[in-house]
Structure 1
Amino acid sequence: MSFLTTFKTSSIILLSTFLAAPVIAHNVEISNDVAATFHITPNHNPQAGKSTQAWFALTRRGGASIPLSECNCALKVYAVPRSQTAQPVLNPPLKAINVEKYREIPGADIVFPQPGAYELEITGTAKDNSSFSPFKLTYSVNVGR
């Protein structure tokens, strides 16, 4: 078999594998030694005036999950553009939820007041003051009609 034939066959197999793999829309951010996988329903396309769920799968360095019970976490929602002195338009309470493979992670039900751009800012400190560093993570969300 020639190099070109082998290359074409390998390329087709590789391309088929990528096309068949499921695509999951999650955003990942890192702050100090904490990473968070973020998702908002439905499929990162929330609608103004309708309840949507946002969740944050927090992990510390090394990959161990951070459940809400171990975090003094807070969520704020800001309209964009945002000035340095802007006040949040929403302060949704966080609750422990189970979603996909994640257990007891911070989640919130949010109703965006109008279409437009928003920033979700989640902050947190370790309840034991030592298991992870304080963090602040920001996610951009576009809200439709």
Structure 2
Amino acid sequence: MNKYLKILIFTSAVIFSYNHLAPVIAHQVKITSDVGATLHIEPNDTPRSGEASLAWFALTRKGGKVISLSECNCQLLVYAQPYVKGEPALLEPNLKPIKAERFRGIPGAEITFPKPGSYQLQLQGKAKQNNSFKPFNLKFNVTVATGTSSPSSDTTQVLENSNTQVEENQGWTFPVWAIAIPLFSISGIIFVALRRKQTDQGDIDSR
């Protein structure tokens, strides 16, 4: 009994630790010779296709001093994966200074990934003055999940087929009634004419 209790306690501790450390682990960190950056994408480092996500980079130089966007000629490029050499960037989001957590004025951008899959974010930059840090090119691999803002192609096809079927059914409804009404009218006229003819014939026979 004690053996199973220990296993249960250990498993619970592992799950508890994972849940609390996951947000920290999710942040990607890349470094060069004297510049480092931590990437975070809202929300929870889990971007979704078709939905705007805020990405920000906590840039620091060696020693831990924060590099603000005002100090850096920075550019952000987004490439689809797998990357083919010579292929242009899929997106070039405009960077803007933002405040995130304890950082102020760091580079950030809103990114809308067109579809789920793998992407690479490249943050390139150099110092605006005094060569306070060396030029850098930091690469971050990102996985984008399926978004909920737009229906999938399969769903769209089903909706289109349903609409087509409804239109076809509606198109057949009018001709059926248009044909049925005259038929009933003609049948009524023929029935009345036959009844009248039978009545007239009966009068002649009685005479």
TM-score, with structure 1 as normaliser: 0.84
Q: 1:19 aligns with which of 14, 17, 35?
A: 17
Q: Once the 2 structures are TM-superposed, how far is the Cα of residue 99 of structure 1 from its aligned partner?
A: 0.4
Q: Taking every aligned residue pair, what percent have the same amino acid on both sides? A: 50
* Structure with the larger strand share: 1
In structure 2, the partner of 1:3 is none
- Aligned pairs (5 A) from 1:16-55: 19=17, 22-23=20-21, 24=24, 25-55=26-56
* Structure with the larger helix share: 2
Query: Secondary structure of 2:105's match?
Result: strand
In structure 1, the gaps of 5 or more residues are: 1-11
Q: Once the 2 structures are TM-superposed, how far is the Cα of residue 19 of structure 1 from its aligned partner?
A: 3.0
Matched residues in 2 for 1:144 and 1:101: separation? 28
- Aligned pairs (5 A) from 1:120-139: 120-139=121-140
Q: Once the 2 structures are TM-superposed, how far is the Cα of residue 43 of structure 1 from its aligned partner?
A: 1.2
Q: Once the 2 structures are TM-superposed, how far is the Cα of residue 55 of structure 1 from its aligned partner?
A: 0.6
For the 8 Å contact 1:60–1:132, the answer to whether it is kept is yes
Matched residues in 2 for 1:133 and 1:22: separation? 35
Q: Once the 2 structures are TM-superposed, how far is the Cα of residue 128 of structure 1 from its aligned partner?
A: 0.3
Matched residues in 2 for 1:139 and 1:20: separation? 23
For the 8 Å contact 1:75–1:93, the answer to whether it is kept is yes
Q: Once the 2 structures are TM-superposed, how far is the Cα of residue 32 of structure 1 from its aligned partner?
A: 2.2
Amino acid at match of 1:144: A
For the 8 Å contact 1:32–1:134, the answer to whether it is kept is no
Matched residues in 1 for 2:44 and 2:57: separation? 14
Amino acid at match of 1:115: P
In structure 1, the partner of 2:65 is 64
* Structure with more relative contact order (C-alpha pairs < 8 Å, separation 6 or more): 1
Q: Deviations over 1:1-24 (max 9, x none)?
A: xxxxxxxxxxx9xx79x9399422
- For these two proteins, the number of residue pairs brought into alignment is 131
Q: Deviations over 1:56-112 (max 9, x none)?
A: 000011110000000000000000000121111100000000001111000000000
Segments of 4+ in structure 1 off by > 2 A?
A: 18-25
Structure 1 pair 67–42 and aligned structure 2 pair: CA distance change class (3 A): same
Matched residues in 2 for 1:138 and 1:117: separation? 13
Query: Secondary structure of 2:97's match?
Result: strand
In structure 2, the partner of 1:141 is 142
Q: Once the 2 structures are TM-superposed, how far is the Cα of residue 134 of structure 1 from its aligned partner?
A: 0.2
Alignment RMSD, CA only? 1.9
In structure 2, the gaps of 5 or more residues are: 1-9, 147-207
Amino acid at match of 2:113: F
Q: Once the 2 structures are TM-superposed, how far is the Cα of residue 144 of structure 1 from its aligned partner?
A: 1.0
Matched residues in 2 for 1:117 and 1:21: separation? 24
Matched residues in 1 for 2:27 and 2:103: separation? 13
Matched residues in 1 for 2:50 and 2:56: separation? 19
Q: Deviations over 1:112-144 (max 9, x none)?
A: 011110000000000004100000000011111
